[in-house]
Structure 1
Amino acid sequence: MMTNLFSSFDPLSSVFNMSLNWLSTFLGLMLIPYAFWAIPSRWSLLWSSLMSTLHKEFKTLLGTNNPGSTIVFVSIFSLIVFNNFLGLTPYVFTSTSHLALTLSLSLPLWLSFMLFGWINHTQHMFAHLVPAGTPGPLMPLMVLIETISNVIRPGTLAVRLAANMIAGHLLLTLLGNTGPSLQYSLLSLLLLAQILLLILESAVAVIQSYVFAALSTLYAGEVN
């Protein structure tokens, strides 16, 4: 029995005090070499088409002509969507519902953008702190607001992804725990609700991955 609802997200399994739950993040990496020698399937062709579309869109958002600059953000999208879908598998640890992973993705990205911008485009970064057309008396206040909004960006990226992933899993867990106490006539409704929620969670897994990657791309485009 769970001591509380959130204990279902605790990394419990361990060997020599080392958590094994995070190994689920690397399970799918064993399947990647298969794509290099196998005949492309419809799924692989669909994935290649999706990656090409994301590459073109991220290139537009970046607004730069640097070749290969979108590979980072397409890779981040691939990593997050892979872990999101892996977490929908029963009895598999959902790594993207923890701030340990989401902050590890957003904080280094944001920090690298800031260092690059302030070192190479200092005047451009200062200009971003005061929007065009701001009255003189409001400039100090706007600088403070823009600075705070800039500092909390990695936190909002991480919390948005983790909160959206954990919310759906909590709802699925709550509904699943009510199954043993329901009558047989209501089990079909519970099963239908669980299937619909699983479809919704699949959509959320893709959307949140895209939102994380797209916002990271926008933040990178602002420092150029």
Structure 2
Amino acid sequence: MMASLFSIFEPSSSILWLPLNWLSTFLGLVFLPYMFWASPSRWAVIWHKLNMTLHQEFSNILGTKHKKSTILFISLFSFIVFNNALGLLPYVFTSSSHLVMTLSLALPLWLTFMVYGWWAHTKHMFAHLVPQGTPVLLMPFMVLIESISNIIRPGTLAVRLMANMTAGHLLLTLLSSNGPSVSYYMLIVLFIAQILLLILESAVAVIQSYVFAVLSTLFASEIN
């Protein structure tokens, strides 16, 4: 039963060796507004204001010295939010609901931060393993706990995004599958519940993209 439920999220259509469902990952690039018109559209103005807001917030986290690095995290937010939003459309594959996709985003970021931190700021990374004011007897345990928390960071980032996107889609699928077997009045209630859940999923798509980008920025700020 559970295998058949989760199978709806698996890519199925393909041409030769190329899975067509994964091409939806790059469809978000089509919706990026162009900035070269004489008079920008409202969509371009809204997107520019959103980028400026994210740039200001990420700059406060990273510090003024590394404020130019915010383009990486703004691009990451844009990529995830478009994939999450496109996944709400019928017959569009949601790549962000797969652990392969989310882990491919989180693991390289975390690995890059760790390699750079241990190479350029070795003393700071060692000092970060023992919080200030830790008793001497607890230092070995704190080193172990901090090391484990650092290692599982990419996994928690990936699983958080994947689980939130999968849970909403799975709940929508379960509710819609009961439509043919319920009465007329229950069908109206089910329809209203589906609309409310779809609105909630739209908010989750934006929030989870923001959380992923902010946590990645926080991990980078610890290195710097």
Same fold (TM over 0.5): yes
TM-score (norm 2): 0.95
Residues 81-119 of structure 1: CA distance to partner in whole angstroms, max 9, x if unpaired? 000000000110000000111111100000000011100
RMSD of aligned residue pairs (Cα, Å)? 1.6
Partner of 1:178: 178
Query: TM-score scaled by structure 1?
Result: 0.95
Q: What are the ranges of 5 or more consecutive residues in structure 1 without an aligned counterpart?
A: none
State, as a whole percentage, how many aligned pairs show the same letter: 69
Partner of 1:15: 15
How big is the shift at 1:188? 1.3
The answer (yes or no) to whether the contact 2:28–2:79 under 8 Å persists in 1 is no
Distance 1:204 1:105, change over 3 A: same
Deviations 1:36-91 (A, max 9, x none): 33742222211111110000000111124124110000100000000000000011
> Are residue 29 (structure 1) and residue 21 (structure 2) matched?
no
CA contact (8 A) 2:129 2:142 kept: yes
Q: Secondary structure at the match of 1:131?
A: coil
> Does the C-alpha gap of structure 1 residues 216 and 25 become closer, same or farther in structure 2, counting only changes over 3 Å?
same
Name structure 2 gaps, 5 residues minimum.
none
Shift of 1:184: 1.7
Instruction: Give the drift of 1:172.
Output: 0.3
Residue type of the partner of 1:189?
V
Match of 1:60 in 2: 60
Q: Number of paired residues?
A: 223
After TM superposition, which residue ranges in structure 1, 4 or more long, deviate above 6 angstroms?
none
Separation in 2, partners of 1:194, 1:3: 23
Q: Is the 8 A contact 1:84 1:96 kept in 2?
A: yes
Distance 2:38 2:184 in 1: 46
CA contact (8 A) 1:64 1:221 kept: no
**1:110 equivalenced with 2:116 (yes/no):** no
1:1-224 paired onto structure 2 within 5 Å: 4-32=4-32, 34=34, 36-37=36-37, 39-224=39-224
Aligned equivalents of 2:104 and 2:56: distance in 1? 26
